């Protein structure tokens, strides 16, 4: 049996690594897997903080039993009710029938629809504390980061923040559990940004509200429900979440296009080359029909420049581009410079639809959109150059 990992003398990580699931929430590719993190605090009273995805660990109870040595769990702290963290609640309650389920009113409304258990509810509100003996837990309500019931739990003794999905990341934990045991920039940062932008990004204003509640709180550990535990450089992950939730970005450009016959793709390459000649080094090009939406969103979160191109399709844009623009409208993307281009063979509509997207979302256009008929000629490539030059000028300011 794989042992738990000791975080401090009385706090333990009880996690599971999922390298089998292809799509997180049946939507997002996780080629590097994902971890589900649960935590156990052993004091005069014993508290379990969040559970695991059901079936992700066949020895979950065994690990707990080994640590608590014949005792029972008094409290289950439920920071988030999404099933990848609440999926083992029933198993825990059946094993420890006297347990109290700690959550807020919105937590219990969801628990009621999943399990019931009204007799086990222990309701807390913002700022309430729970005494375990030496450890005191303080509850911080963080609604819409990223469900309405989400909250965080702060251990005043250990200065440890159990943050729910916030500060989380995709990527299984390959041996290293803590931030000082992994190559974060190489293996986790991109996945953390992709996780943030796709799962939490829509609620960035609520993340900023959560930051205000945490202002001045001494945090020595951040224990999320996914990804590594932060103990050596908590400021790094706080900085990243603060930056992403303010939609601050790097001086680079992501070009995303939809092309059926290669004409729009040629224009994308032409724009990228001109950007490079202008000294822009951070350039990424994606074919929206090949690259999964989550990677597109992640790069849009990363770079200030966004250039979208589409061929015409049934008098509109290519469906993969339509899906992307609809998602960006839903997320309320802001603070990006935008360029638009496209092509058509017999009837336009792709660029017209992209322009409607721009009007809906309100991003600043670097120059007038344009489309070209058929194979792009010298004039079309000159228009491509104009987009590149205008974007480069914006980024150099």
- Confirm if 304 and 337 have CB atoms less than 8 A apart: yes
The 3-class SS string of the chain reads CCCCEECCCCEEEEEEEECCCCEECCCEECCCCEEEEEEEEECCCEEEECCCCCCCCCCHHHHHHHHHCCCCCCEEECCCCCHHHHCCHHHHHHHCCCCEEEECHHHHHHHHHHCCCHHHEEECCCCCEEECCCCEEEEEECCCCCCCCCEEEEECCCCEEEEECCCCCCCCCCCCCEHHHCCHHHHHHHHHHHHHHHHHHHHHHHHHHHHHHHCCCCCCEEEECCCCEECCCHHHHHHHHHHHHCCCCEEEEEEEEECCCCHHHHHHHHHHHHHHHCCCCCEEEEECCCCCHHHHHHHHHHEEEEEEEEEEECCEECHHHHHHHHHHHHHCCCCCEEEEEEEECCCCCHHHHHHHHHHHHCCEECCCCEEEECCCCHHHHHHHHHHHHHHHHHHHC
Integer angstrom CA distances of residue 67 from 41, 46, 64, 263, 365: 10, 11, 5, 63, 59
**Token reading at 266:** 């040629």
Q: pTM score, two decimals?
A: 0.93
| Percent of residues, the chain, with pLDDT higher than 70 | 99
Phi-psi sector, 207: left (phi>0), alpha (psi -120 to 50), beta = alpha
Report whether pLDDT(1) > 50.
no
Per-residue pLDDT at 397: 79
Per-residue pLDDT at 347: 83
Per-residue pLDDT at 121: 95
Report whether pLDDT(184) > 60.
yes
d(CA 355, CA 371): 11
Residue with tokens 């987009």: 387
- Decide which of 3.60.15.10, 3.30.950.10, 2.40.50.180, 3.30.70.260 is the CATH code for 5-245: 3.60.15.10
Using pLDDT thresholds of 50, 70 and 90, give the confidence band for residue 2. Answer: low
Residue with tokens 């939609």: 247
Phi-psi sector, 266: left (phi>0), alpha (psi -120 to 50), beta = alpha
Report whether pLDDT(388) > 90.
yes
> What pLDDT digit, counting tens, does each position of 143-174 carry?
999 899 999 999 999 999 999 999 999 999 99
> What pLDDT digit, counting tens, does each position of 248-265 carry?
999 999 999 999 999 999
Q: Any bridge partners for residue 393, and if so which?
A: none
Per-residue pLDDT at 56: 78
Strand 121-123: give its sheet, edge to edge.
5-6, 11-18, 34-42, 46-49, 75-77, 100-103, 121-123
Average pLDDT, the chain: 95
**By C-alpha distance, which of 63, 64, 80 is closest to 168?**
80
- Confirm if 164 and 206 have CB atoms less than 8 A apart: no
CA atoms within 13 A on the CB side of 31: 8
Per-residue pLDDT at 315: 83
d(CA 143, CA 117): 23
Interior CA angle at 388 toward 387 and 392, to 5°?
120
Statement: 254-396 belongs to CATH 1.10.8.420: no
| Percent of residues, the chain, with pLDDT higher than 90 | 92
Domain range summary for the chain, segments of one domain joined by +: 5-245, 254-396
Report whether pLDDT(110) > 50.
yes
d(CA 135, CA 42): 9
Chain CA centroid to CA 124, Å: 27
């Amino acid at each position: 049996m794989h042992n738990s990992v000791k975080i401090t003398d009385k706090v333990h990580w009880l996690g599971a690594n999922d390298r089998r699931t292809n799509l997180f929430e049946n939507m997002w590719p996780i080629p590097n897997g994902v971890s589900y993190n649960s935590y156990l605090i052993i004091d005069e009273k014993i508290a379990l903080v969040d559970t695991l995805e059901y079936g992700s660990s066949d020895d979950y109870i065994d690990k707990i039993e080994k640590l608590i040595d014949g005792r029972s769990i008094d409290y289950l702290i439920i920071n988030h009710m999404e099933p990848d963290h609440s999926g083992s609640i029933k198993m825990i309650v059946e094993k420890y029938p006297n347990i109290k389920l700690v959550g807020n009113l919105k937590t219990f409304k969801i628990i009621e629809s999943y399990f019931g258990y009204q007799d086990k509810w222990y309701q807390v509100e913002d700022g309430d504390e729970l005494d375990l003996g030496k450890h005191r837990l303080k509850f911080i309500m963080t609604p819409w980061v990223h469900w309405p019931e989400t909250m965080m739990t702060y251990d005043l003794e250990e200065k440890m923040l159990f943050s729910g999905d916030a500060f989380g990341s995709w990527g299984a934990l390959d041996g290293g559990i803590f931030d000082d045991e992994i190559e974060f920039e190489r293996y986790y940062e991109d996945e953390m940004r992709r996780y943030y932008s796709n799962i939490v990004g829509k609620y960035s204003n609520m993340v900023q509200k959560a930051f205000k509640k945490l202002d001045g709180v001494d945090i020595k550990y951040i224990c999320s429900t996914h990804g590594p535990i932060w103990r050596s450089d908590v400021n790094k992950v706080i900085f990243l979440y603060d930056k992403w939730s303010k939609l601050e970005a790097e001086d680079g450009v992501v070009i995303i296009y939809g092309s059926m016959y290669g004409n729009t793709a040629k224009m994308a390459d032409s724009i990228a080359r001109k950007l490079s000649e202008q000294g822009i080094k951070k350039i990424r090009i994606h074919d929206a029909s090949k690259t999964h939406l989550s990677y597109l969103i992640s790069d849009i979160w990363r770079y200030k420049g966004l250039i979208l191109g589409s061929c015409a399709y049934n008098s509109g844009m290519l469906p993969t581009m339509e899906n992307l623009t609809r998602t960006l409208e839903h997320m309320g993307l802001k603070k990006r410079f935008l360029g638009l281009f496209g092509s058509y063979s017999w009837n336009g509509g792709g660029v017209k639809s992209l322009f409607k997207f721009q009007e809906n979302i309100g991003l600043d256009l670097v120059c007038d959109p344009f489309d070209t008929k058929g194979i792009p000629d010298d004039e079309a490539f000159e228009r491509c150059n104009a987009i590149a030059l205008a974007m480069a000028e914006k980024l150099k300011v």
